[in-house]
Chains A and B, each alone.
Chain A
Amino acid sequence: MIRKEEIEHIAWLARVALREDEKDLFEQQLSSILDYFAVLDEADTTDVEPTYHVIGITDVVREDEPKEALSQPEVLRNAPKKEQGYFKSPRIL
């Protein structure tokens, strides 16, 4: 079970504003999905290590040499709001 207040809290943490109808729908749907996830409680994972990546990954480093990168206009081309060569953000404080 997940309550509507919990969904509101999680939605705030995730920075996704939900409409009232979405909250009602999700309350019911997410509860049944979480019920289904409870099947994992049956699995015996005593002394089992978690698998974050299936293939052993080691650090890969290349030579630290300057290379050609995207130009400033290319980087800014998709920005919805920009000013003097910068991305323009909403007010943070």
Chain B
Amino acid sequence: MVTALEVVEGIKSGNISCEELLLQIYERIERSELNCFITLNKEAAVREAREVDKRREEEEYRRKKLLGVPVAVKDSISTRGIQTTCASKILTGYVPPFDATVVAALKKEGAIIVGKTNMDEFCMGSSTETSYYGPTKNPHDLTRVPGGSSGGSAAAVSAGETILALGSDTGGSIRCPASFCGIVGLKPTYGFVSRYGLIAYANSLEQIGPMASTVTDTALLLEIVSAKDEQDSTQIKIQNNASTNYCFSWLNGTRNEREEIKGMTIGVPKEFIEGSSPEVERSVWDAIHKYEDLGATYGEISMRNLKYALASYYIIAMSEASSNLARFDGLRYGLRTGKDEDWHTTFSRIRSEGFGEEVKRRIILGTYALSAGYYGKYYLKALKVRTLIKNEFEEALKTYDILAMPTMPFVAFKLGERIKDPLSLYLADVNTVSVNLAGVPSLSIPCGVSHGLPIGLQLVGKHFEEDELLKAAFVYEQNIP
């Protein structure tokens, strides 16, 4: 499979026909059994590809950093004129009248939107099985889940049904499927990428981020989607994109990468490894020893509050969701069925028909956690525990440059294996959710295979030091067989 960088170069030099590339990709999608996409953008995409081929030599086109690169966009991200459902029945048929800031940034740089990828309904899940449009399958084993919630994006990159993809990550939704599908996925620091146009699940936790088959492509896509935006008041304004710009040019240059990693210190929190399967544990330690061979040093550490992360995360996420999802009332957009009765009855009925089971479960639990009498016990307590976890990460990252651990405690599980028992599905997120609570950046990179199923290494860095993470991942990628 070609990389985004090769596509851009090939198109600019005339060695790759953008139209042919797009047609190949759509042919693959149309033959595919994976169910990666909810909506395809074929007609417009092929038209744009022809335009790219025709105008590739014009100065304006030559400057575009993603010229002609096919990008798949998770269906939680608004795309003007293309149906955006968040994999829910309640938004079926909804066509946003505006682009999310990240989508506008992609278009400005010449990227072509392949389509909208499948996901867990409203990002609520870790397996892409809660989608109203049916599950996505893992390209490495069709009987297994691709991870979630950005499962369609990860599977599409892995299977060559796109070159790049965007996901969103509230508690691991980029890193989990990246791990299960054997690709690279990065969740930026909270506040690094604009959330304008991202359909909100839990605002204080989520970020849009890049998914790709190589670290360099990941850095390139991050550089573009982290464009500044005045429409998101939580996007940090003091930083410009120096950090990722620098990183991408470095990765794309000819620097001796081994030099960059000498002296890097890696913290390995034992609580993140303890619950993992033996093959995951072995692969992650192999990766850490590889870093040692390359000149880094590591130390084992303990993060005692990690055992509270999952409960804290789910309470906060569900509470925010119960408030966010109140906007789906069938008035301005979305499903409106049956005859109108009084407001409350109509509203309750539409939501009952429009939301799937997991979404209802989380709305009910979130409403419960925020209700009089339980607010202090659940919501406020979870926010205080969040402080403890954030402090623990910040403390560990004072001593170490980055932290390393498994992304997921096991390889991709079977379709249907966990979906009937919600708690068992929540428990799979134990290593990813704490990162969102702390707001630090994190990526998953393939570090091994067990019986044909990929294993992911999760690296965690300091706030706004995405460049350190990408560099560390790049050096590893360049030095594994």
Identify the A interface with B (CB < 8 A): 2, 6-7, 10-19, 22, 25-26, 29-30, 32-34, 36-37, 39-43, 45, 48-55, 57, 59-60, 62, 70, 74-75, 77-81, 87, 89-92
Instruction: Give the docked Cα–Cα distance between A59 and B234 (Å).
Output: 9
For residue B464, which residue of chain A has the nearest CB? A55
Contact residue among B95, B234, B357, B371 (Cβ-Cβ distance under 8 Å from A22): B357
A12 to B367, CA, bound (A): 10
Mark out the residues of chain B between 334 and 393 whose CB falls within 8 Å of any chain A CB in the assembled complex.
334-336, 340-344, 346-349, 351-352, 355, 357, 360-361, 363-365, 367-368, 371, 378, 380-388, 390
Cβ contact within 8 Å between B331 and A91: no
Cα distance A79–B332 in the bound complex, in angstroms: 5
The answer to whether A87 touches B331, judged by C-beta atoms less than 8 angstroms apart, is yes
From known contacts A45-B381, A90-B340, infer whether A16 and B364 are also in contact, taking CB-CB under 8 Å: yes
A90 smallest CB distance to B (angstroms): 4
- Chain B residues contacting A40 (CB-CB under 8 Å) are 308, 311-312, 315, 378, 381-382, 385
Compute how far the CA of A53 lies from the CA of B340 in the bound complex, rounded to whole angstroms: 39
Given known pairs A43-B305, A52-B383, A54-B438, the reply for A33 and B365 (CB within 8 Å) is: yes
Of all chain A residues, which has the CB nearest B80?
Answer: A74
Residues in chain A near residue B95, CB distance under 8 A: 77-78
Which of B204, B343, B380 lies in contact with A90, CB distance below 8 A? B343
Question: Measured between C-beta atoms, what is the minimum distance from B388 to chain A in Å?
Answer: 6
The answer to whether A10 touches B364, judged by C-beta atoms less than 8 angstroms apart, is yes
Query: Quick check: A13 and B371 within 8 Å, CB to CB?
Result: yes
Indicate if B151 sits at the interface (CB-CB under 8 A). no
Q: Known pairs A39-B307, A53-B234; list 19 more (Cβ under 8 Å).
A: A10-B368, A15-B351, A16-B363, A32-B423, A33-B423, A36-B311, A40-B385, A43-B385, A45-B381, A51-B387, A52-B204, A53-B190, A62-B230, A70-B97, A70-B98, A80-B330, A87-B332, A91-B342, A92-B343
A11 lies within 8 A of B439 (CB): no
Q: Quick check: B234 and A51 within 8 Å, CB to CB?
A: no
Distance in Å from the Cβ of B85 to the closest Cβ of chain A? 12
CB-defined contacts of B61 to chain A, threshold 8 Å: none
Residue on A nearest B330 in the bound complex, by CB: A80
Checking A10, A36, A57, A79 against B367 with a beta-carbon cut-off of 8 angstroms, the contacting residue is A10
Instruction: Give residues 380-439 of B contacting A (CB, 8 Å).
Output: 380-388, 390, 422-423, 426, 437-439
B360 touches A16 (CB 8 A): yes
Q: How far is the CA of A55 from the CA of B384 in the complex (A)?
A: 15
Chain B nearest CB: distance from A23 CB in Å? 10
Cα-based distance from A80 to B234 in the complex (angstroms)? 32
CA A4 – CA B388 in complex, angstroms? 34
State in angstroms the CA–CA spacing of A16 and B349 once bound together: 7
A54 to B326, CA, bound (A): 24
Q: Contacting B387 at CB < 8 Å: which of A11, A17, A22, A50?
A: A50
Q: Which residues of A contact B285 (CB under 8 A)?
A: none
Give Cα A19 to B356, complex, Å: 12
Closest Cβ of chain A: how far from B275's Cβ, in Å?
A: 15
State which of B97, B204, B237, B340 has its C-beta within 8 Å of the C-beta of A91.
B340
Q: Smallest distance from the beta carbon of B423 to chain A beta carbons, Å?
A: 6
Main secondary structure of the interface of B (DSSP, over half): helix
Shortest 9 CB-CB contacts between residues of A and residues of B: A54-B439, A50-B383, A80-B336, A78-B333, A45-B384, A17-B352, A90-B340, A17-B348, A90-B346
Check if B314 is an interface residue, CB within 8 A of chain A.
yes
Do the beta carbons of B384 and A49 come within 8 Å of each other?
yes
Within the assembled complex, what's the spacing in Å between the Cα atoms of A54 and B188? 13
Q: Tell me whether A91 and B343 are in contact in the complex, defined as CB-CB below 8 angstroms, given that A13-B367, A55-B236 are known contacts.
A: yes
Q: Would B97 and A75 count as touching, CB distance under 8 A? A: yes
Closest A residue by C-beta to B237: A60
User: Which of B190, B233, B311 is the most central at the interface, judged by chain A CB atoms within 10 Å of its CB?
Assistant: B311
Instruction: Give chain A nearest CB distance to B162 CB in angstroms.
Output: 27
| Pair B308/A54 contact, Cβ less than 8 Å | no
Complex alpha-carbon distance, A14 and B311, angstroms: 21
- Does B167 have its Cβ within 8 Å of any Cβ on chain A? no
Complex CA–CA separation, A42 to B388 (angstroms): 13
B232 (CB) vs chain A CBs: closest residue: A60
Q: Are A81 and B348 in contact (CB under 8 A)?
A: no
**Residue among A12, A30, A42 making CB contact with B365, cutoff 8 Å:** A30
| The one of B93, B315, B322, B463 that contacts A14, using a Cβ cutoff of 8 Å | B322
What would 20 A/B residue contacts be, using CB atoms closer than 8 Å? A10-B368, A16-B355, A16-B363, A30-B361, A40-B308, A40-B382, A41-B381, A43-B388, A45-B385, A45-B387, A50-B386, A52-B383, A53-B234, A57-B191, A74-B97, A75-B97, A78-B94, A80-B330, A81-B336, A89-B343
Which of chain B's residues have a CB closer than 8 A to the CB of A15? 326, 329, 344, 347-348, 351
